[in-house]
Amino acid sequence: MAALALTPVAATEADSPKPVKKTVRIGDNFFAPDSLRVPRNSVITWKWPSMPGDVHDVALRSRPKGVKKFHSELSASDYRFRRKLVKPGKYSFVCTIHAEMRMTIRVRR
Reply yes or no on whether the pLDDT at 105 is more than 70. yes
56: containing domain = 18-108
Q: Does residue 7 lie within any of the structural domains? A: no
User: Are β-strands 42-47 and 21-27 bridged in parallel, bridged antiparallel, or unpaired?
Assistant: parallel
Q: Does residue 3 lie within any of the structural domains? A: no
Q: What is the pLDDT of residues 58-103, one digit of tens each?
A: 999 999 999 999 999 999 999 999 999 999 999 999 999 999 999 9
Reply yes or no on whether the pLDDT at 6 is more than 50. no
Q: What is the number of domains present in the chain? A: 1
User: How many beta carbons lie within 10 A of that of residue 26, not counting itself?
Assistant: 27
Q: What is the pTM of this model?
A: 0.84
What DSSP string describes 1-58? -HHHHHS-----GGGSPPP-EEEEEEETTEEESSEEEEETTEEEEEE--SS--S-B--
The pLDDT of residue 19: 97
